[in-house]
A and B are shown apart, each in its own frame.
Chain A
Amino acid sequence: MIQAPAWLQILSRSAAALFGGYALSYAASACLARLLPLSAADAVIVATLPAFVFYTGAILWAFASRDAVRAWAPLALAAPLALLGFWPQALGWLA
């Protein structure tokens, strides 16, 4: 396997931290807001309060993971979470 130059690795991991982290915290908040058994107004707040914990976790993950591809795992994780969070909208688009 060819080792990418250091600066490219750093760039890729930083992008993974920034964008992957944002996607994860956005999707996780949406999913939580949908699943929490609270009124909509309360669910939004309770689901968004921990968003930055997810984001921090994703940042650490992006720099701790073994290789630069795994660093993007939060982005991959974001997809199913977003689907859960936005399933009525998703059904609307499909129909």
Chain B
Amino acid sequence: MKNTFTQSMAWLHTWAGLIFGWLLFAIFVTGTLAVFDKELDHWMQPEVPATEVSQADAARRAVAYLQAHEPQAGNWGISLPTERSPGLRVSTGDRRHGGGVQLDPRTGEAIEVRDSVGGNFFFRFHFTLDLPRNWGIFVVGALALVMLAALVTGIVIHKKIFKEFFTFRPNKGQRSWLDFHNASAVLLLPFHLMITYTGLVIFMLIYIPAGVDALFEGDSRAYFNAQGNARLEQPRQLARQPGQLVDVAPLLAQAEARLGPLGGLNIRNPNTAGARIEIRPELGNRIALAKGQAMVFDGVSGELLSDVPQWRAAPLTQRVMVGLHFAQFGGYPMRWLYFICGLVSCVMIASGLVLFCVKRGRKYGNGTAQASARRWYRVAEVCNVGFISGLLLACVALLWASRVLPVELAQRESWEVRTFFGVWVLALLHAGVRPARRAWVEQLLLVAVLCIGLGALGGVGDAMRVGVVLSALVMGVLLGLVAWRVGKAVPAPIRAKAGRNVEAGA
């Protein structure tokens, strides 16, 4: 591209970073928020009570409710109350996501809970950008690859990694932005590389099914069977004869002793002789992601039919990498480490985007540059505002929508999502009609006010919801400080203009 290796890498870093950085910022922000998805879920549905009921009691009540209301269903799903998600939810059929009825774990009665996309929206947006699922994961995968390339080129072009390891020189314009971008990238490099690469590993066989194509003739079912993931065969004959369901509590105790804290259970073919009870662990008893693992019991005799498998080294490696990305292990201290690391990643990307404009502002930001160059510069500027502060605005708007939209609104969830994207588009438009610095200050201030104001929406019944409100408060104050700092920095261009006037007058 350019003359030397470093120059061409710098070119790639700059332009790939700019063009894909806007969406990468959105992916990193929503991913960071998704660290606390369950907590946000809980805050966005204030009807769910925070209770301390043992899982065994909750499970018994859920089974009693399902016996009374859905005795004929082919499958009962029960999400047990856990530390992070105190609700008790039951569902029927094979709908894994959404649907179902929320129960009060204390009484086993159904409770009315507003429809809300919950924190799960951030999780879904993080890996699909809210596109159709298969499209989304490919787009996000491609973006992750660009991130990886940007990280490697960034290392290549950063000449003084160790010399400027601890260097940050504030109040020096472009110098400060570069220092910050470098410091946040270098100090958190293990995190950046880990989170990007493990993100790609999650869907690696969807992205690059080469191995399956070569060794299994592209037959993914054969591949899964070879992994030993074959499902236990369903007893079709027995499932037609009636049967008496065993008490689940002792099975839960047995499973908990083996698996650690539990997440929920499925009862297939309940009330038949072929009933099967699958009990799954809460994710995060270890690094390796335990998604899809369960202990299976006979629903009539209570006999253990299949235990969780021991992973061989290769699948374990993959599971550990995926688990490192999902960050379900290590409890709340680890969650906070991931959250703050994620925040620094977001700020690192944002500072890179801002740096692009700061670097070129003197050249293209005023009347002397070519009209077309000036127009492109303006596009970059508007996108920066709209994709950075605009996205933050959209995220906090979604939280507000979950509380403010009327509870009885039809298709409430899609209205929440529309709020998210509507606010984002409005922010882009706003950035387009306002001078850049004003747009930054106004949008950041609005985000700050909305974050601080989350507490005013009430419904703060328990420690977890208080935690959400307090964290939002801290974020709001920090963003307010940023807005104030950006606004205060206004004198610089005015001084430049004054200088020109003096020259003109002289």
Are A52 and B145 in contact, with the CB atoms below 8 A?
A: yes
Q: A43 touching B9 by the CB < 8 A rule? A: no
In the complex, are the beta carbons of A45 and B315 less than 8 A apart?
yes
How many angstroms between the C-alpha atoms of A37 and B206 in the bound complex? 24
CA–CA, A33 to B9, complex, Å? 31
Q: Are A49 and B212 in contact (CB under 8 A)?
A: no
Q: A41-B227, A49-B201 are in contact. Are A63 and B12 (CB under 8 A)?
A: yes
In the complex the two chains form, is A47's CB within 8 Å of B313's CB? no
Q: Is A86 an interface residue (CB 8 A)?
A: yes
Q: Does B191 contact A (CB under 8 A)?
A: no
Question: Chain A's nearest CB lies how many Å from the CB of B139?
Answer: 13
Partner of A48, one of B8, B153, B208: B208
Give chain B nearest CB distance to A36 CB in angstroms: 9
Interface residues of A in 33-51 (CB under 8 A from B): 33-34, 38-49, 51
Residue B312 lies at the interface, judged by CB distance under 8 Å to chain A = yes
Contact A33 to B215, CB < 8 A, known contacts A41-B227, A51-B210: yes
User: Residues of A contacting B213 with CB < 8 Å?
Assistant: 30, 86
**A29 to B207, alpha carbons, bound, how many Å?**
12
Contacts of B312 in A (CB 8 A): 42
Verify B145–A44 contact, CB threshold 8 A: no
A37–chain B nearest beta-carbon distance, Å? 13
Of the candidates A13, A28, A44, A47, the one whose C-beta lies within 8 Å of that of B223 is A44
* Bitwise interface map of A from 53 to 93 toward B, beta carbon under 8 Å scored 1, else 0: 00110011001100000000000000000000110010000
Contact B1 A44 (CB under 8 A): no
Tally of chain B residues near chain A (CB < 8 A): 37
Chain B: which residue is nearest A13 at the CB level? B1
A59 engages B149 (CB within 8 Å)? yes
The B372-407 residues at the A interface (CB cut-off 8 A) are none
Cα A59 to Cα B1 with chains together (Å): 13
Q: Tell me if B329 counts as interface (CB < 8 A to partner A).
A: no
Question: Which residues of chain A have C-beta atoms less than 8 A from B217's C-beta?
Answer: 89
Q: Report B-chain residues with C-beta under 8 Å of the C-beta of A33.
A: 210-211, 214-215
Residue among A27, A38, A60 having the largest count of chain B Cβ atoms under 10 Å: A60
Is B200 positioned at the interface, with any CB of A under 8 Å from its CB? yes
Find out whether the CB atom of A86 lies under 8 angstroms from the CB atom of B214. Answer: yes
Question: Closest B-chain residue to A71, C-beta based?
Answer: B1
A7-45 interface code vs B (CB 8 A; 1 in, 0 out) = 001100100000000100111111011100011111111
B interface SS class: helix
* B152 lies within 8 A of A60 (CB): yes
- Contact in complex: A42, B314 (CB < 8 Å): yes
Please name all residues of chain A whose beta carbon is closer than 8 Å to the beta carbon of B216 when the two chains form the complex. 40, 44
Question: B208 to A51, Cβ gap below 8 A?
Answer: yes
Kindly list chain A residues whose C-beta atoms are within 8 Å of the C-beta of B214: 30, 33-34, 85-86, 89
Verify B201–A41 contact, CB threshold 8 A.
Answer: no
The residues in B between 305 and 344 inclusive whose CB is less than 8 angstroms from any CB of A are 312-315, 317-318, 321
CB contact between B211 and one of A22, A30, A52 (< 8 Å): that residue: A30
A-contact bits for B1-37, CB 8 A (1 contact / 0 none): 1000100110110000000000000000000000000
What's the least CB distance linking A34 to chain B, in Å? Answer: 6
CB <8 Å contact, A56 and B314: no
Task: Decide: A29 near B210, CB < 8 A? Known: A46-B314, A48-B204.
Answer: yes
Q: Which of B145, B149, B214 has the most CB of A within 10 A?
A: B214
The residue among B148, B208, B227 with the most chain A CB atoms within 10 A of its own CB is B208
Contact A43 B211 (CB under 8 A): yes
- Please state if A48 and B211 are interface contacts (CB–CB under 8 Å): yes
Contact partners of A32 in chain B: CB under 8 A: 211
Q: Select one of A22, A34, A56, A60 contacting B215, CB under 8 A.
A: A34
Interface membership of B481, Cβ < 8 A: no
Q: Does B257 contact A (CB under 8 A)?
A: no
Chain A residues with Cβ below 8 Å from B228 are: 41
13 further A-B contacts with Cβ under 8 Å, apart from A25-B210, A33-B214, A89-B214, are A29-B210, A41-B315, A42-B315, A45-B314, A46-B314, A49-B317, A56-B145, A56-B152, A60-B12, A63-B11, A63-B12, A64-B1, A86-B213
A interface residue numbers (CB < 8 A to B): 9-10, 13, 22, 25-30, 32-34, 38-49, 51-52, 55-56, 59-60, 63-64, 85-86, 89
Instruction: Name 15 interchain pairs, CB-CB below 8 A, sorted by A.
Output: A9-B1, A13-B1, A27-B210, A40-B215, A41-B223, A41-B314, A42-B315, A44-B212, A45-B314, A47-B211, A48-B211, A51-B208, A51-B210, A52-B145, A60-B153
A-B residue pairs, 5 tightest by C-beta: A44-B211, A33-B211, A42-B314, A29-B210, A30-B210
